A and B are shown apart, each in its own frame.
Chain A
Amino acid sequence: MKYTDEQIFNALAPFFAQDGMDRKEAIAVEPDTDIIAEGLVDSLGIFKLIAFVEEAFTITIEPDEVLLENFQTLRALRNLIVKKLG
């Protein structure tokens, strides 16, 4: 299955709609927002994000792919997803 970038970003958006992060104001998640530095994905969220991406795109993420460079932004995640769907 081929996805456009927009489809990928839209599919990832619901993950960040959830509440529960300890912060005062909401942050808009742009493709280049640093989701780690902004605290949108924390050490606990990374587990959920991996499962979410695997299910949404029917891919498997390998242990050695769980790196900051693959998870820091939605664009980085998009690159990983596209590569896995390759």
Chain B
Amino acid sequence: MAKRQAAARAAQRSSSMNAVPDSCDVVVIGGGPAGSLAATYLTGKGYSVVLFERQKHPRYQVGESLLPDVWKYCDAAGVSDAIAAEGFLRKAGGSVDWNGEMRRLSFGDFGYTRPALHVERDRFDSILLERARASGAWIGEEIAVLEADLSRAGDNESEVSVSYRPVGEASASRIRCRYVVDASGQTGVIGRQLGLRVFDEGFRFMSVWGYFANSSYLAADGLIYPAQSVRQVPPTTYVSALPQGDGWAWLWHIMLRETTSIGLVIPKAWASETKGSAESWEAWYLKQCRALPLLQRLLADATFCEGSLRLVRNYSYRSSQVAGPGFFLLGDAAGFVDPIFSVGVVFSMYSAYAAAHTIDRCFRQRARRDEHRSIFSSQVQARLELSRSLALPYYQATDAGHARAREAMGFSSMQAQALMYAASLLTDRSGNFDSMADSPHAHRAAAERVRPLNIPLE
């Protein structure tokens, strides 16, 4: 351990001198929530960590709705106070308009004592990265990782060499480590290198989103409040199915401190059917926003922030392997689904915790590395499969996948099961839940806590 601490100090010294260290215990690829938390947890256990981030923080990121579960991971990283001090908006629950059924739920009714959040991700992710830096991890921003040589990772002394290149420089360099943690998000450096990514061809979708100023919003009491009330009366995340979307196309409305994030998640075919070839994406987007009576009402006094429109074409995907000799995949680098239930950041943080725990066990019990990694893999894959089963409509799991998802559901508390069921009920995806849980308790708890939304739409 003393040796490790000396190495950690050496890594820290070279950080202040700005030279990338030649070696460390663990290289983390990516400075989003998964990477920053993994780095923080690992330095906390006495390991030397070098984290490479391709961009420079603060940097833009979508995915602003966070579930109350994030707090326990932030507690474990010692970063909860910094997040609380930032004053992000507290989110009280969800309001859902699904094919004419308007319902709401409040996290408080499910026994959660800490708030969910609506966060500006550039700020949120910066706070986590600064925590990793303060914990002693060497942070290299604007450095891209090219690949990892894992050919000797299975040796007794797990040996990995990672190739990286600072942005704007022509030549690559290498750093030696024992493990590499891939938290590079959808880029998926290691997953792509090893060909581990499995795309769901049937779930090709697009996300089109932008920002409005001065939008009204729905609170947990089912009433509409003006933008100015947002710090006094916590907003809910408002989600609506889109007409003729076949239960697939939906819209989010997320209040932030200064703006409101509004996005459409749509099957690729739906976009091409509804958008004229001469029509701009912005015109099409604004038209969709005006087509929903409730949203139209929330946007009555709102103005679109010019130039804020963004668009990504997406697949949902998983990984055939989330760990192997010398490497671990976290967060979006491991898998990605329709973001309807806001589980992305929680899954990232969970996998960061699981990887840090597992790497520590592998260092301490070298002879049992394979077993520790295997527990990591089955737990993380099960959790991912559960998210997929809940979020992907008409999802047909393989038998093995279904068994995994059921196991992960079984390992969830009644509180968590009730919330999952309520969320799936609200969005008409409860058939998926029912196939995985034999849980009359969750049904009852959810049914008691889902309330109607009565908003007169004249």
Interface size class of B (residues with CB under 8 A): 20 to 34
Q: Contact check, A44 vs B415: say whether CB atoms are below 8 A apart.
A: no
A63 pairs with B375, CB closer than 8 A? yes
Question: If A22-B71, A47-B379, A51-B361 touch, does A63 touch B371 (CB 8 Å cutoff)?
Answer: yes
Total A-B contacts with CB atoms under 8 angstroms apart? 71
With a cutoff of 8 Å between Cβ atoms, the chain B residues found around residue A36 in the complex are 410-413
A71 neighbours in B (Cβ, 8 Å): 411
- Per-residue contact bits, chain B 336-349, to A (CB 8 Å; 1 contact, 0 not): 00000000000000
How many chain A residues touch B (Cβ–Cβ < 8 Å)?
24
- Given known A22-B113, A60-B371, A66-B378, contact A47–B353 (CB-CB < 8 A): yes
Report if A47-B354 is in contact (Cβ < 8 Å); known contacts: A22-B71, A68-B407.
yes
Complex Cα spacing A62 to B368, Å: 10
CB-CB under 8 A for A37 and B413, given A43-B383, A44-B350, A51-B361: yes
- A17: interface (CB < 8 Å): no
The majority secondary structure among interface residues of chain B is helix
Does A46 interact with chain B (Cβ within 8 Å)? yes
Nearest-Cβ distance from residue B442 to partner chain A, whole angstroms? 10
**A22 neighbours in B (Cβ, 8 Å):** 68-69, 71-72, 112-114
Contact B374 A63 (CB under 8 A): yes
Q: Are A38 and B413 in contact (CB under 8 A)?
A: yes
> A10-58: which residues lie under 8 A (CB-CB) from chain B?
20-24, 36-39, 42-44, 46-48, 50-51
Compute how far the CA of A30 lies from the CA of B375 in the bound complex, rounded to whole angstroms.
27
For the complex, give the distance between the alpha carbons of A43 and B112 in Å: 16
Q: Which residues of A lie under 8 Å from residue B407 when comparing CB positions? A: 67-68
Beyond known contacts A23-B111, A24-B111: 9 more, CB 8 A cutoff: A20-B75, A23-B415, A36-B412, A42-B416, A43-B350, A43-B412, A44-B72, A46-B379, A68-B410
